Amino acid sequence: MSSRKAQKLRQSILKYNTEMSKLKDELASSQEANLKYNRLVIKKAVCKKELDTLKGSVLQKIINKFLLNKTKEKIICDYFKS
């Protein structure tokens, strides 16, 4: 796991958390705040997904590279845990 990249991802996640907490008060009254909040949720999920892939084992990375990368198209549910 590359330490710098993991550290940057963790910092991004923390930054998104603080921005989301600031926007929570305005969600009921502002449509723009809702849109920004939703964008932040998606960005945070992408960072978490990248961090999870960095933590994976070498065998898991190889399997993901050859088997799961057949489709280059990402869908939103790929970034959220079920």
Q: Encode pLDDT of 21-37 as tens digits.
A: 999 988 888 899 999 99
Residue 22 structure tokens: 């600031």
Q: What angle do CA 22, 28, 31 make, to 5 degrees?
A: 85
CA–CA separation, 42 and 11 (whole Å): 16
Q: Encode pLDDT of 36-77 as tens digits.
A: 999 999 999 999 988 888 887 777 777 767 776 665 667 777
